[in-house]
Amino acid sequence: MSRDETTILKETFEAQGDDHFSEGLQTPMHEDAFLMNNEEKMEQIARHFEKIMHTLGLDTQNESLRGTPHRVAKMYVEEIFGGLNPMEAPDTRTFANPYDYGHLVVEKNIRLVSFCEHHFLPFIGKAHVAYIADGEVIGLSKINRLVDYYARRPQVQERLTLQIAEALENALKTKDVAVVIDSKHLCVSTRGIKDESSSTVTADYRGAFKEAETQQRFIDYIRMETDL
């Protein structure tokens, strides 16, 4: 890439600033994303991260820092970005609804930790998920696992909200699903504006949840205090 092209790219990124935007529902990945296995990915990441540390002026041979590149690589591949691997996708099999329960099923206050894809800093919060059964139901823990799977990748909160809703709709074969996420972004609180008090709320209401009465019932359930 020429110096002029690099300058144009830098100016473009700086103009975008902290704007959070997404070009589509799918997490952007290149076509060779799965040619390497996890061990090969960790080896490359560790090597590149050591160069980053060296560039910052850190002594990577220091006893305290020597293992950092490997630890970061392992964390990226096997932990916080494990949701990039389709082999990690949770089992979303459904089963018959023997009770003929046709009202709201709400799983609220699901702890969520994801990473902003613009700065690779965490955003931490809660997801609230609901659906109305249409012949099939899904295990409650499967909803938590679904949220965790899509969260464990570089994300934009808007896209994360839509991905969870889409996956639940596909699993249950019903459009009557809703997802609300409320989170704090460390890219906002620790850099830039450094606003520690604000949070970001995103929502996706589908099917019956587009109706004001059903949507309000879902919101009321979210607000209910659970004394356990």
Active site amino acids: 116-119, 157, 185, 187
User: Distance (Å, rounded) from C-alpha 82 to C-alpha 148?
Assistant: 10
* Residues whose CB falls within 8 Å of the CB of residue 49, separated by 6 or more in sequence, listed in order: 68, 69, 72, 73
| Contact status, residue 15 vs residue 21, Cβ threshold 8 Å | no
| Contact status, residue 69 vs residue 50, Cβ threshold 8 Å | yes
Task: Please state the length of the chain.
Answer: 228
Q: How far is CA 202 from the centre of its chain?
A: 12
DSSP 165: H
- Assigned token pair, 196: 């520690």
- Residue among 7, 185, 155 at smallest CA distance from 84: 155
